[in-house]
Amino acid sequence: MKNIKIFSKDWLSLHPYVQSTPVDAYYTNIANRIYDILAATELTNSFKGDEAKQIAIRMAAYYEDVISQTNIWRVFISDFKERHGHYLPFYKTGDHYYEDEANLEDVRFLLWHYTQQYHGWRKGTFVNPDNPANQAAANMIYKIFCDEWTTAPENERMQALFSKETRYDDDPKKYNDLLYWFHYHSYPVTDANEELTDTTKSYWEKEGKQVDSKDLLTFHDLLAHISHTPFLAYTSPMWLSKLIPEDHPDYAMFKEEADKSMAFVSPEDAKRRELAKPDYQKFKEVVPDDLILYMKSEQEFYDFLTQKIGINFKDGRPEPGERHFAVYASEEDGIQVLTLDVDCIKDEKNPFYNKERAEQAALGFFIVKHCSTSLLIEMVKRGMLADAQTKSLLGEERGKDIIQNNWKFLIEYFHKERVD
């Protein structure tokens, strides 16, 4: 091992306790060996600050999870398989893939996930799952896991979190502490703290307030309960309900918290949806067969709203000139305008469709929110985003397969909304 980059305090930042033991020292050493691999394959050049350290620590935490049978990873792959018929997005698994062991495909996928979360998010790009450097690093990391398999220690303190002897119904703080750890510090979830910062700043700016620690604590609690994570768009309470055994004395409490969190709709969203219903219903009456209408000018849109939908405008007139955009309606949002990548929509009624550009840019619908999730799902089902693809060294068909065969995962991962 080269120069030590990761220390006990770094490792403990992903754990719900503060005192290091020999078990923690062992996995800290594994994390440093993984960091050396990231440096040797020059993957560290793709990251900023402590991002590469975070990836190394989180990969070691995955290994600890598998060794200790705390089942965080197993929940993801088993639930993914139940919904999709196979264990992982992007990567095929063979006869030698085992749910209770470390697998090369798991390592490849997690490296993709962390690279996407750090490098991809910052650059605003989709990270190719076939990235050669990631594959090379994954092979070397997996070799460490194989070599250490018979000697790697189980972390009994992590196991105790979900044992039947550990009770949570006697003290709400104990459940919340567990929830806060999972949401803000567990190895699969990388973006929760950034979301907390962005949400709090946005609120302060909107309200014209100064920094207030009380607001921060309020949002810290709220987001831990209701925010959806990239994997399966589960909330953290849903994750916990999957991790606690069904015969645990407090399982019913965990399940109730999970159901509430997954069903949560903010008062603002509920009001918006209620107000949107009449416009949606009117749109479907006027346009019963078309999913999307394509407009060539603001005047055309203005005429549609006033003459067909019956909306009257007291102020403002449409700007003259030609503009290309689309109009649709959803139950949750009412009538909406779609302006991004309209020329990527493969529709015989779309006069703006450009196949060449669609092959380059249609992927954007899955990565960045262009429209309501309900519209996006329906567009995929109708083949309107059939050109969406990414580049792959394995060929054009593989590039299409990555997107077209994983579209449900991509929507849940990037939009954090369930696709049922």
pLDDT band at 366 (very low <50, low <70, confident <90, very high): very high
Segment 296-315 mean pLDDT: 90
Contact between residue 108 and residue 134 where contact means Cβ atoms under 8 Å apart? yes
What is the number of residues in the chain?
A: 420
What percent of the chain has a predicted confidence (pLDDT) above 90?
Answer: 88
Contact assessment for residue 371 and residue 338, using Cβ atoms and an 8 Å cutoff? yes
Q: How confident is the model at residue 3 (pLDDT cuts 50, 70, 90)?
A: low
DSSP class per residue in 265-292: --HHHHHHHHHHHHHHHHHHHHSSS-S-
Determine phi and psi for 386, rounding to 5 degrees. Answer: -65, -15
pTM to 2 decimal places: 0.94
Span 257-262, average pLDDT:
98
Residue 315: pLDDT above 80? Answer: no
**382 pLDDT higher than 60:** yes
Give the confidence band of 7 by pLDDT, cuts at 50, 70, 90.
very high
pLDDT digits (tens, 9 = 90+) for 18-50: 999 999 999 999 999 999 999 999 999 999 999
- pLDDT tens figures, 177-206: 999 999 999 999 999 999 999 999 888 888
Distance (Å, whole) CA 320 – CA 298: 7
Contact 158, 202 (CB under 8 A): no
Give CA–CA dist 389/129, Å, rounded: 12
Q: Among 141-150, 212-221, 322-331, 347-356, which stretch is predicted with the lowest mean pLDDT?
A: 212-221
CA distance 151 to 156: 15
Between 212 and 284, the higher pLDDT residue: 284
pLDDT at 4: 76
Sheet holding 325-330, edge to edge: 293-295, 325-330, 334-338
* Angle, CA of 115, 369 and 229, to the nearest 5°: 50
74 confidence band (pLDDT: 50, 70, 90): very high
Q: What is the mean pLDDT of the chain?
A: 95
265/261 Cα distance (integer angstroms): 9
The string of pLDDT tens digits covering residues 224-250 is 999 999 999 999 999 999 999 999 999
